[in-house]
Structure 1
């Protein structure tokens, strides 16, 4: 499906979200190092776990609200909420206040609004794009996000280190701009039948909450979908370390070393810059290869693709924990990234196939529990590295990735059985 054939909603979002994502990645990769420096590794890990608990509940709420109040409305609210959070975070990091705890609270609230935005955003794509083209559209959005992952950390190494407060304030203003653009030029896509069913009853808030949990109970009874979520949560312990354990590991363990030389000129790199380099490598590979690999992967069985992804993640993260040589880390990151690429394009399509139309927003919200719950648990790796050492921490993460591959095998065994009985 060519970009010019996309609905205007999607083209507007692609550009505006790219700008907000770029500013986000200008400061986000450095926050784990910032919090670890301010609170200590153990406390920082526990605080990050605590912050993600709120994101889990916000994610569930976002899915329900996307189906009840509309995709557009929830996206506007979430974008404005991110803007306020970043603005206050910038003030918290300013020289005249300098409050790490207030900054952490703002970081937590921003994460909640991101969790509210995501299911409405994904549901809008499913509303507007037919099933056969969804994988390619999701892949383009994912590529756009990863262009931000390449550009953001490079700009962040220039601006965030010297101007953290100003950068966060600018990010807040961009959040407000996104909310305005969404409110002004994006139309609602919630199917009329779903909107009618959601608004027919004038329920009080606690009745809405009760119905919300009842809806999620129905989803959890979908055994295939439940196994898919569990596998994603286990696998998430691996890929979530890109923003958690990796920067701390490289900051502490990678010494200043020569990346390459040309005659009398050489380029040396320390741990922090090495992290920025491998993060940019990850984003660049995703930008260049997501669409190509997604088109390639749709030729294979979904089961085999998910299992291959888990194995590649395991190999990549194991190698990562066995070396501090910068070129070894670059090779490990390439393998790690291919684990990400082989499955990214088909994940959302698989969820779309499982989800009934009237629960589409909530299915996407429940599917994103793979990330929110994984991100809630994943920060334990930071204090774990202090308890058992980095090498064993990376080995444990690699083993978890292999376990997720086994769960994916069970998931599709159940899926094929259900389809044969249907």
Structure 2
């Protein structure tokens, strides 16, 4: 299914969200540096954990809101809410007024609106695209995000420190424009039967309670529980990409030469170096996802899951032992390879272990590994104050190895349960 054959809703979104994502990635990766300098590393870690709690609740309710109030309405409200949040953040970072606290509250609010936007946007694709074409459409949106991850951090590394006010204002205006574009050119797609579903028509807190009860039932599946635990442990590593890594690289690199040819040299400071390796991550993901996934499909599933965590652990060793920009570039290549190893197999494994009548609930519950990871991961920043960078990386290394152990136990449990069912 080619882009020219897409529904107009999707064409509008692809363009609008591309602009929004590029703007977002121009400043988002550098916020942990900004907040660490404003509040100190201790307070920043706790504040980021606190902000994630609200995003977690919004994420749990996102599907309910998309069904109850409509995809278009939630996307419009979320885009406008994000826009106003970014404008408030820019006002708190202006040449005339500086307030990191207002900036943090605005950042937390933008996270809540973003968590409400995502489920509605995914549901709209499912509403408009036949099942046989959905994976390609999702892949194009995913590629668009990774292109933004390449372009945004490079621009942000150049402009964020000196032009934070302007970047945040542009991001706010782009989000507001996206809301207006969706209002004018998008249409509602939620099926009528979904809107009339009694489960959707109830109170939001009943929905939240029932959803948590469903998760508790699913987690009684031993194999799935081990999958969640392993995912949360591995998540403590890859979630540091925009939490610990920017702070660490800024502290380790004051200014280094990236390239030198004769009398000409190109040097970077810490923020610019981080922008470069984050762009490297996005570029490698964009170029190699399909290739690495095909390669991993030929290997034993258990070995891929276990080796992915071990490669994450190896990347942590590399990051912890280098203060050289090319060392960080190599470490990010290893880190990205670990990310890509399990990217294609995670979803297929969930579909394999989930009972056919509960697949939707299993996929929803599987997102808990990212939810818990995002909530816990910011604690790595204050940990660097308590025990130093060295021991913080040791803890992350241990968590990555522990995730490999839990993945091995998961496959052992899955094999036993399969044999039991077969007998």
User: TM exceeds 0.5?
Assistant: yes
Q: CA deviation at 1:417?
A: 5.3
Correspondence for 1:113: 113
Correspondence for 1:321: 320
Structure 1 length normalisation: TM-score? 0.88
1:176 matches 2:176: yes
- Once the two structures are superposed, what CA deviation does each residue of 1:338-392 show, in whole Å capped at 9, x if it has no partner? 11122223434555664878884x6555333322321221111112112222122
> CA separation in 2, counterparts of 1:303 and 1:127?
34
1:274 matches 2:278: no
Of stretches 212-221 and 350-359 in structure 1, the one that deviates more from structure 2 is: 350-359
Instruction: Check the 8 A contact 1:59/1:368 in 2, yes or no.
Output: no
1:55 matches 2:66: no
Q: 1:191 to 1:173 in 2, by over 3 A?
A: same
Instruction: Check the 8 A contact 2:199/2:207 in 1, yes or no.
Output: no
Correspondence for 2:396: 397
1:23-422 to structure 2, matched below 5 A, reads: 23-125=23-125, 137-188=137-188, 190=190, 194-198=194-198, 202-348=201-347, 350-351=349-350, 354=354, 360=360, 365-415=364-414, 421=421
> CA separation in 1, counterparts of 2:356 and 2:84?
35
Q: CA deviation at 1:186?
A: 4.3
Count residues in correspondence: 420
Query: What's the C-alpha RMSD, in Å, of the aligned pairs?
Result: 3.0
> CA separation in 2, counterparts of 1:3 and 1:294?
24
Q: CA deviation at 1:180?
A: 3.3
Q: CA deviation at 1:164?
A: 1.4
- Once the two structures are superposed, what CA deviation does each residue of 1:237-257 show, in whole Å capped at 9, x if it has no partner? 101111111111111122422
Instruction: Check the 8 A contact 1:290/1:341 in 2, yes or no.
Output: yes
> CA separation in 2, counterparts of 1:396 and 1:352?
32
> CA separation in 1, counterparts of 2:26 and 2:52?
21
Q: CA deviation at 1:300?
A: 4.0
5+ residue gaps in structure 1?
none
- Once the two structures are superposed, what CA deviation does each residue of 1:297-336 show, in whole Å capped at 9, x if it has no partner? 3444544433332222111121111110111111111000
Instruction: Check the 8 A contact 2:61/2:204 in 1, yes or no.
Output: no
> CA separation in 2, counterparts of 1:12 and 1:310?
38
> CA separation in 2, counterparts of 1:187 and 1:417?
49
Q: 1:329 to 1:46 in 2, by over 3 A?
A: same
Structure 2 length normalisation: TM-score? 0.87
> CA separation in 2, counterparts of 1:231 and 1:418?
18
Q: Tell me the SS of whatever aligns to 1:257.
A: strand
- Once the two structures are superposed, what CA deviation does each residue of 1:388-411 show, in whole Å capped at 9, x if it has no partner? 221221122122112112222333
Q: CA deviation at 1:185?
A: 4.2
Q: CA deviation at 1:132?
A: 6.7
